[in-house]
Amino acid sequence: MKNIQLNNGLTIPQIGFGTAAIGQWQQDDQHVEDVVLSAIEAGYRHLDTASVYGNERSVGQAIAESGIPREEFFITTKVWDTEQGEHSTQQALQRSLQRLQLDYVDLYLVHWPNPEKTQKTWQAMETLHAQGKIRSLGLSNFRKSDIQQILDFAEIKPVYNQLEIHPYLQQQELVRYCEAQDIAVSCWSPLGSGSWSGVAIEEKPVSDRVIKQIADKYQVSTAQVILKWDLQKERIIIPKSETLKNIQSNLNPGNFTLTDEDIAAIDALDKGHRYGADPDTALQGNLNIKVPD
């Protein structure tokens, strides 16, 4: 599996396993643990979770039960909007580490921008980094203005920005800005949202006529075409699945290579269409969502 080098010199597996809403939102039980263990057994070493997902205990238990040395994993978790701030961020990470049964995480993300608290949150993360509890600091759903705010004061530069990116929402200007700042771009919901969204599969990029034509040409699935499109653009992807077949195929999207014409055809599908929340309006709703104990 290919690794991407981050701006701090560390590397991250280009394909990770997303854990949001395995089973149901904030489900944390044997089913979640079994799914994550299946992903580990399939070869995933990059696991992406968050305090608000409510399943860090199951993710941590799967890591422990796998018998694989800690240093072989790349573990990402996130500080939720209600946890942001100087002392609360430090406490939030400590709770996440306890649930995950880990001494450190490889990457800690600010889950959504909250500009009023960004500086204190980030500086708390820098302190935790100095204590060895975080190896890399990053962002999720951050806009250009949010990133510029951090770059004005940060002693440690963000390595990563995790965004909703799929063929129908490509955020090309923001991606170019991140790349210019040497901030790696990661895609959540790279296939165009999961079952949690309630969106019919016929309305998702995996059902798009153009992508189907490309998939037919290479005799692969439309999901593999979309993931390959991201991989060839040097983006990090964190697809989620609960079926072993898709868990395996997402990790191994096939030996084909998309042509420049294929990539241009997918690039042309951009509609600016979000399935998830918009960082321009998400904060107030997010503050009403609690992190489970």
Beta strand spans in the chain (E): 3-5, 11-13, 17-18, 46-48, 74-79, 107-110, 137-140, 160-164, 184-188, 236-237
Paired residues of 21 in beta bridges: none
What is d(CA 266, CA 211) in angstroms, rounded to the nearest whole number? 7
Distance CA 59, CA 238 (A): 15
Residue 285, H or E segment: helix 282-286
Pairing state between β 107-110 and 3-5? unpaired
- Residue (of 248, 274, 273, 279) closest to 35 by Cα position: 248
- 111 among annotated binding-site residues: yes
d(CA 15, CA 263): 19
- Sequence letter at residue 101: Q
Q: Which residue has the tokens 């918009």?
A: 278
DSSP helix/strand/coil, 26: coil
Contacts of 30 (CB under 8 A, 6+ apart): 58
108 as an active site residue: the answer is: no
User: Rounded to 5 degrees, what angle do the CA atoms 114, 108, 223 make?
Assistant: 95
Paired with 48 in beta bridges are 18, 76
Q: Which two tokens stand for residue 189?
A: 């919901």
How many CB atoms sit inside 10 A of residue 234's CB? 12
Give the relative orientation of helices 244-251 and 30-42 as an angle to the nearest 10 degrees: 40
Q: Which of 53, 108, 160, 168 is catalytic?
A: 53
Residues with a known catalytic role: 53
Q: Which residues are annotated as a binding site?
A: 111
Residues in the annotated binding site for substrate: 111
